[in-house]
Structure 1
Amino acid sequence: MTTAQTFRLPDLGEGLTEAELITWMVAVGDIVELNQIIAEVETAKASVELPSPYAGTVLALHAEEGETVDVGRPIIDIGTAGASGEPAAQCEEGDRAAAGATEDDVSERVPVLVGYGVAGEGASRRRRGSNSTPNNAAAAQSTASPAADRTRPLAKPPVRFLSKQNGIDLSDVTPTGQRGEVTRADVVGYLSDRDAERDRGSAATVAEESTPVARGSDETRTPIKGVRKHTAAAMVSSAFTAPHVTEFVTVDVTETLELLDRLRTHRRFAETRLTPLALISKALLIALRANPTLNSQWDEDAQEIVTKHYANLGIAAATPRGLMVPNIKGADRMSLHELAEALVDLTTTAKSGKTAPADLTGGTITITNVGVFGVDAGTPILNPGEAAILCVGAIRRQPWEYQGEIALRSITTLSLSFDHRLVDGEQGSRFLADIGRILSDPFELIALG
């Protein structure tokens, strides 16, 4: 017996009530396996792949790509072999045979959590049932639906997202991946060629046209949703809830950079990408020990100040999906080597769009590095729920007073924003001064790190 099972958008955790359906990995008429990835959705915090809880034939899709879907809303109907409400994985072998399934259609049943798929090169995201017979309704829909006959280019979710952001049809992009998939480099190259072509066309049009440009063609409107919507709401809430104070200190970090160069040549760091941010992060964590109020939280409901005896260090990261602040759990217990490796993993994962929702919550203090953009200083807004955020400016070589003389030194500006409900001016000033002192004379990075 074949039964239609409805899969509703599951609760993706962290209090999220909706998600944008980025990409369907299946179409009406497709044969899907248990745990096969059927769609990619984007929440306010992360991109998530949805595995199918049923094996069977896709009967209907209830949401369009780009549509925002509430948790609990039906998104797909799958025709399964078994009693009503029973996943296909629990059916008897005879029932599967009656539904037209063959041994080739039954994959290894690997339990997974919602939002995490089955990995492996052999898993097919769109498997046609050439050896199985779908029910008449599914067959009719498959014949009537052009989507059932389309061939979907292979590409990872971040690549699909990048192409969608730029209005690129992946079928127009020549794939160069080892398995015939479209890579990020392919999309970037296509985008570069397309923009160059448009520039040439625009130049020709300007030279030939005498009529004005149609009204509205000089504007681009982008829907506010996903990460951008969440970030905007969080920043507005933070700015108007926590009374911000920002202080600045200019620091001679010449000796820290010299230490960095020496560490890079040490065998311990031979295979680790060691950056100034790693040493700055370590300096902040050391200073935090003597200034615990900077690692606290205001609990409005309980009317309590919650001081954390652990540090989950957030790093503000610019990604293709917008600003994200993943954090390193237990950063205060890490050695410099462990911290450096964790920073590399964090930034690589964030830029690929694969940061898990759990990594975006629970942070206790944050660093934002505007120096990578050549900016000298900033007044950062607190990450909601945290007491402080450190902003690191560009490191520049400039004349500076050193041992009673003027010398060319490496100088940077650090700015610290903190919640004045939790942190007094004296406490914030001492914390910032401690970070500056450690970076001026990095002996404590070795002695206490």
Structure 2
Amino acid sequence: MDAHTQIPPGTDIERRFEALSKRFPIVDTHNDFPYALRMQLHYELSSTPQFDFDSLLTSHTDLVRMREGRIGVQFFSCWIECKTDDILSQDFNQPSSIVRDTLEQIDVVRRLVDEHSGALRFVHTADEALACFQDQGSTQIAITLGVEGLHQVDLSLGVVRQYHALGVRYITLTHNCDNPFATAASSVTGGLSDRGLTVYGRECVREMNRLGMMVDLSHVSHKTMLDVLATTQAPVLFSHSSTYALTAHERNVRDDVLLLVKKNGGVVCINFFPEFLQQRGRARVTIDDAVAHIRHVVELIGWDHVGFGSDFDGIPQGPVGLEDVSKYPDLVKRVWAATGASEEQVAKMMGMNVLRVWKQCELVAARMRQTHGPVDSNWDQRRWVFHEYCKELPELFPGAFGLKQNEYTDTQTLVNGTAHDGSEDDAAHAKN
């Protein structure tokens, strides 16, 4: 079957899909549309009349094609680049505006939902997401959020907690750079050693479990995957990954990890980035390559562990036959035709697996919060820099100022702001 060939209308699969898609949502765990709003519009939506989300855009995503694609639940990715252009840098203390920039991504999604409240609904739980789809007469698409890299929390578990409070429901442990929590796949391809999950990373996974934040293992190194699967108390998510057995790229998931995902109860959402789908000997990447990666997961570990994570608007172009968000029905029907799956199995792939993992993470969190408070530790190499005048402030208790290792600078004073040696005041006094 050529990638351009459609399942003929009126066929059994076409009829069955039409009925099934009214009962179960298609869930996409990774769409980078918010980054397009950052880069191209600087988030100025209302003052840009050319931007109309309710009409056809030239990007991969708009409301017209989301409806055509039968999307029931969309995770929008909040992605900001690594701190430096050197993705192999290990200077994690470097100051940046990355938390501000991530908050702007969260804000623009919330604004987009508010401005299209008849078509979109922001949800906080798996039950809310499913209810949004199942509400009688509702045509709203459930919207939630992911953050694509722990570099975006800038060393702080407090930021992880605040992202969760703002509606973020998964965080990818790395993007294309290491951080104090974990090793990235790109660092391994760049020649660095695979150190996996750090001690601080284990504490972060534990805190994400306590919050009900899904732990996303797309982008991380092989050892990081293994370490997380040995650490987490909740099912994991691969929000946009494909299989290493078919495409030998460090970003993709090896079979030994897939077998552990089955034991863990997690889900691998197949990425549509052609580079991570291309199979040896094939000149071009098509929808059939995505079908092959889905089939590999299913044949190795079963229908309970596969889903969709497109990466639309975070990739230059999709495979032939998967050009934009309207194409999900074509993918579902092609997988169905190729596998002879049951309706229950297809519904799991469409999105029920993701909703199950999300719900199970919430249940783990509810249990953990009965016995565990917030993890209040910090990265042991974090620099804490204060002004000398801060030592003049009241001490919490005797010896508190010496309890932690701080760095102090004398560049400012508490009263006048700028520190100096008094010579300028002397010169001004002499002149007068």
Instruction: Tell me which structure has the larger Cα radius of gyration.
Output: 1
Bigger RCO (CA 8 Å, 6+ sep): 2
TM range (shorter): under 0.3
Q: Greater strand percent: which structure?
A: 1
Q: Greater helix percent: which structure?
A: 2
Normalised TM-score (structure 2)? 0.20
